[in-house]
């Protein structure tokens, strides 16, 4: 599974040549939405006060709300300017709605300019994985992540738990080593009379 480190995400954002593409990258990496869902966004789908994007779920074909952070909303607001309706992101070539392919190419070009190794693996899907892994790293709830990503089954979302074996060790130490007594309840002391060892 391909994902970007924090420093690579920052370099990717810095390498975006326009406010429009900075907003596109931030949306992808901070919401986990799919490319087609991003391309389908209209200005009126952005709820600035409620901090949500209303997308058409590309798999379930229904309108759903996805939370979005303040910094990303600020970029969107600057990008939109005085526009109140129509496609959120326009193609610079056709002046119509941006396409999935344009988004993919723009992300790839930014990755090249950012000097990210294995640039061929940097796609909008990589940014969806990055969002998910960062959620897990921040101890975000797996069921909430499933709902944000709109997975039908929790097992699909659980693949993000396997990205880092170091997490297993740190969780073990946090839970089992806490207090120096492991998982044993204080009453279960093996040196009490009556215990057979």
**Does residue 175 register a pLDDT over 80?**
no
Query: What percentage of residues in the chain have a pLDDT greater than 70?
Result: 86
Residue 94: give its domain's CATH number.
Answer: 1.10.443.10
How far is residue 78 from each of residues 23, 63, 75, measured CA to CA in Å?
Answer: 9, 25, 5
Q: Which pLDDT score, from 0 to 100, does residue 191 have?
A: 54
The reply to whether 95 falls in a domain is: yes
- Structural domain span for residue 81: 6-141
- Cβ atoms of 56 and 35 closer than 8 Å: no
Q: Which pLDDT score, from 0 to 100, does residue 186 have?
A: 53
Mind listing the pLDDT tens digit for each residue in 88-111? 999 988 889 999 999 999 999 999
Q: DSSP 3-state assignment of 90?
A: strand
Mind listing the pLDDT tens digit for each residue in 44-84? 999 999 999 999 887 767 899 999 999 999 999 999 999 99
Mind listing the pLDDT tens digit for each residue in 19-47? 999 999 999 999 999 999 999 999 999 99
| Sheet architecture: strand order including 52-56 | 46-47, 52-56, 63-67
Overall domain count for the chain? 1
Cβ burial, residue 32 (10 Å; 0-12/13-18/19+): buried
The reply to whether 190 falls in a domain is: no
State the alpha helices, DSSP H only, in the chain.
6-15, 19-31, 35-39, 70-80, 100-114, 124-137, 142-149, 154-157, 165-176
């Amino acid at each position: 599974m391909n994902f970007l480190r924090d420093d690579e995400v920052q370099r990717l954002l810095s390498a975006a040549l326009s406010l429009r593409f900075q907003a596109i990258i931030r949306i992808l990496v901070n919401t986990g939405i799919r490319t087609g869902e991003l391309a389908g966004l209209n200005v009126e789908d952005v709820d600035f006060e409620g901090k949500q994007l209303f997308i058409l779920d590309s798999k379930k074909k229904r309108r759903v709300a996805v939370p979005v952070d303040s910094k990303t909303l600020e970029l969107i607001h600057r990008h939109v300017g005085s526009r109140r309706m129509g496609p959120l992101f326009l193609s610079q070539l056709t002046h119509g709605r941006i396409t999935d392919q344009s988004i993919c190419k723009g992300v790839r070009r930014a990755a090249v300019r950012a000097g990210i190794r294995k640039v061929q693996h940097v796609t909008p899907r990589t940014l969806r994985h990055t969002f998910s892994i960062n959620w897990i790293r921040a101890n975000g709830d797996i069921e909430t992540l499933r709902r944000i990503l709109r997975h039908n089954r929790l097992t699909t979302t659980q693949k993000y738990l396997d990205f880092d074996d170091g997490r297993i060790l740190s969780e073990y130490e946090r839970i089992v080593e806490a207090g120096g007594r492991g998982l044993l309840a204080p009453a279960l002391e093996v040196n009490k009379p009556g215990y057979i060892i």
